[in-house]
Amino acid sequence: MIKTKVGIGKSNNLQSALEEATQDFTNPKLIVYYTSKSRFEQFSKLLHDKFPNSILIGSSAYREICRYGLTNGALLAMSFEDGIECFAGVIEEIDKYPVKYIQRLQDAVSKFKNTNNTVCLEFCVGTTNSEEKVISTMNSLLEVYKIPLFGGTSADDGEFQTTYVGLNGKVYSNNCVFVLIRNLSGKIKIYKENIFKKTNHSFLVTKVDPKQRIVYELNERPCAEVLAESLNVPVSSIKELFDTHPLGRVVGNDLYISANRNLIDDRAISYYSRLYKNTTVVLLEPDNYKEILKSTISKINNDFDHISCAIVINCIARTMLFEKEGFAEKFAKQLGELGDYVGFASYGEQMGDYHFNQTMVIGVFE
Question: 95 and 242: one domain?
Answer: no
| Residue-wise DSSP of 252-309 | TTEEEEE-EEEEETTTEEEESS---TT-EEEEEEE--HHHHHHHHHHHHHHH-S---E
Please report which confidence band the pLDDT of residue 21 belongs to, taking 50, 70 and 90 as the band edges. Answer: very high
E strand spans, 125-259 = 149-153, 165-167, 170-172, 176-183, 188-194, 196-209, 214-218, 221-222, 247-251, 254-258
Give the model confidence (pLDDT) of 280-305 as tens digits.
999 999 999 999 999 999 999 999 99
Confidence (pLDDT) at 349:
97
Question: 223 and 359: one domain?
Answer: no
Q: Is 292 exposed, middle or buried (0-12, 13-18, 19+ CB in 10 A)?
A: middle
Confidence (pLDDT) at 191:
98
Global pTM reads 0.95
Question: 174 and 218: one domain?
Answer: no
Residue 159 has pLDDT above 90, yes or no: no
Cα distance from N-terminal residue to C-terminal residue, the chain: 8
Q: What is the CATH number of the domain that holds 259?
A: 2.40.30
Q: Are strands 359-365 and 221-222 parallel, antiparallel or unpaired?
A: unpaired
Residue 19 has pLDDT above 90, yes or no: yes
Q: Is the separation of the CB atoms in 175 and 91 below 8 Å?
A: yes
Q: How far is CA 107 from CA 102, 180, 205, in A?
A: 9, 11, 39
Among candidate residues 248, 263, 286, the one where a domain is terminated: 286
Question: 158 and 14: one domain?
Answer: yes
Question: 282 and 296: one domain?
Answer: no
Determine what percent of the chain is predicted with pLDDT higher than 90. Answer: 95
Residue 157 has pLDDT above 90, yes or no: no
Mean pLDDT of 127-146: 94
Confidence (pLDDT) at 315:
96
Q: How far is CA 67 from CA 23, 175, 330, in A?
A: 18, 29, 9
Confidence (pLDDT) at 304:
96
Confidence (pLDDT) at 114:
93
Residue 252 has pLDDT above 90, yes or no: no
Question: 180 and 200: one domain?
Answer: no
- In angstroms, what is the C-alpha Rg of the chain? 20
Under DSSP, is residue 3 helix (H, G, I), strand (E, B) or coil? Answer: strand
Please report which confidence band the pLDDT of residue 183 belongs to, taking 50, 70 and 90 as the band edges. Answer: very high
Residue 124 has pLDDT above 90, yes or no: yes
d(CA 228, CA 234): 6
d(CA 266, CA 224): 6
CA atoms within 13 A on the CB side of 229: 12
Residue 132 has pLDDT above 90, yes or no: yes
Among candidate residues 258, 286, 314, the one where a domain is terminated: 286
Containing structural domain, residue 176: 3-191+291-365
Q: What is the dihedral of CA 89, 300, 192, 108, to 10 degrees?
A: 10
Residue 1 has pLDDT above 90, yes or no: no
Please report which confidence band the pLDDT of residue 158 belongs to, taking 50, 70 and 90 as the band edges. Answer: confident
Question: 282 and 135: one domain?
Answer: no
Question: 278 and 310: one domain?
Answer: no
Q: Sheet holding 118-124: strands in order across?
A: 84-91, 176-183, 118-124, 149-153, 348-351, 354-356
Question: 150 and 257: one domain?
Answer: no
Give the model confidence (pLDDT) of 220-232 as tens digits.
999 999 999 999 9
Among candidate residues 260, 286, 312, the one where a domain is terminated: 286
What is the count of structural domains for the chain? 2
Mean pLDDT of 317-334: 95
Confidence (pLDDT) at 70:
96
Give the model confidence (pLDDT) of 73-83 as tens digits.
999 999 999 99
Residue 202 has pLDDT above 90, yes or no: yes
Question: 37 and 92: one domain?
Answer: yes
Question: 25 and 106: one domain?
Answer: yes
Residue 250 has pLDDT above 90, yes or no: no
Confidence (pLDDT) at 356:
96
Residue 149 has pLDDT above 90, yes or no: yes
Confidence (pLDDT) at 260:
94
Residue 339 has pLDDT above 90, yes or no: yes
Mean pLDDT of 81-106: 95
Provide the mean pLDDT of the chain. 95
Q: Is 327 exposed, middle or buried (0-12, 13-18, 19+ CB in 10 A)?
A: middle
Question: 46 and 128: one domain?
Answer: yes
